[in-house]
C-alpha cells in the first residue's frame, strides 16, 4: 500500500512539476513545440530547406565587386585595372572535377578547378600630374570568359593572358592564350599571331 501511494505522489509531481523546480514532462513538451516553431517561416515551410535569397540590401552588399587588382607597365607609364567578381558563381562550384595528388583539376579546361579569375581589363595612362587618363577597355572576349595570368610584354605595348570559356562540347572550353594591344584594347589569339608571322 505504501508503494502505491509513493507511485501516485510521484505521478502527481510529474504532472504538476518537481519539488526542486525542474520542469515537468508536459511543460518540457510545450517548450519543444515552442522552440520548434522557430524553424518555420510565416508560410509554414521549414527554414533552411531549399534555395532562399536574402533581402536585396544584403544581396547587394555580398555581390558588390571588390576593388580591382592593379598592375603597372614595365615603363611605369600605364596601369591595369583587373576587374573581379565578389564570389564565384554556383555553376563554377558545381562543375565536375578530377582529383590527383591533392589537386583539383578541371578536365574541360585542362587547368586547376575553382581558380579565381578576372572578368575584365581596363588600361589607364598615367599622366604627368599623377592622374589617370581615360580608360581603354580590352574588348573582344568570348562571352563568359575567365582571365588569368595577365602579363606585360617587355616593351609595355602588349598584354598576354589565358582565357577560359565554359562551353561544353567545343574547343572554346579549353585554355587559350590571347594577346591584347595596349593602345587600342584589341584582342587576338596567340595562335593567329603565330600563323600571320
**Same domain for 7 and 101:** no
Q: Does residue 46 sit within a domain? A: no
The angle that helices 25-36 and 2-16 make with each other, rounded to 10 degrees, is 30
> What is the torsion angle, in degrees rounded to the nearest 10, for the CA atoms of residue 41, residue 46, residue 51 and residue 54?
30
Is the domain of 24 the same as that of 95? Answer: no
Is 131 contained in some domain? yes
Q: Do 144 and 187 belong to one domain? A: yes
Q: How confident is the model at residue 69 (pLDDT cuts 50, 70, 90)?
A: very high
Residue 10 lies in a domain: yes
What's the predicted TM-score (pTM) here?
0.60
33-37, 53-57, 102-106, range with the lowest pLDDT: 33-37
Report residue 74 as a C-alpha cell: 614595365
Same-domain pairing of 68 and 34: no
Domain count, the chain: 2
Estimate to the nearest angstrom the gap between the alpha carbon of 138 and the chain centroid: 23
Whether 99 and 162 map to the same domain: the answer is yes
pLDDT, mean over the chain: 74
Q: Which domain holds residue 6?
A: 2-39
Q: Which residue has the higher pLDDT, 183 or 103?
A: 183
Amino acid at each position: 500500500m505504501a508503494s502505491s501511494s509513493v507511485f501516485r505522489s510521484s505521478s502527481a509531481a510529474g504532472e504538476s512539476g518537481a519539488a526542486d523546480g525542474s520542469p515537468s514532462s508536459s511543460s518540457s513538451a510545450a517548450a519543444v513545440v515552442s522552440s520548434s516553431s522557430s524553424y518555420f517561416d510565416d508560410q509554414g515551410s521549414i527554414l533552411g530547406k531549399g534555395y532562399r535569397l536574402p533581402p536585396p540590401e544584403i544581396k547587394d552588399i555580398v555581390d558588390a565587386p571588390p576593388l580591382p587588382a592593379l598592375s603597372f607597365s614595365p615603363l611605369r607609364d600605364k596601369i591595369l585595372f583587373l576587374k573581379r567578381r565578389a564570389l564565384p558563381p554556383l555553376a563554377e562550384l558545381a562543375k565536375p572535377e578530377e582529383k590527383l595528388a591533392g589537386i583539383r583539376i578541371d578536365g574541360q579546361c585542362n587547368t586547376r578547378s575553382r581558380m579565381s579569375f578576372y572578368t575584365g581589363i581596363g588600361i589607364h595612362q598615367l599622366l604627368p600630374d599623377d592622374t589617370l587618363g581615360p580608360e581603354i577597355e580590352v574588348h573582344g572576349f568570348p562571352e563568359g570568359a575567365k582571365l588569368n595570368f595577365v602579363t606585360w610584354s617587355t616593351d609595355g605595348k602588349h598584354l598576354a593572358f589565358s582565357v577560359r570559356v565554359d562551353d561544353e562540347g567545343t574547343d572554346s572550353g579549353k585554355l587559350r592564350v590571347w594577346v591584347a594591344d595596349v593602345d587600342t584594347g584589341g584582342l587576338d589569339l596567340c595562335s593567329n599571331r603565330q600563323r600571320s608571322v
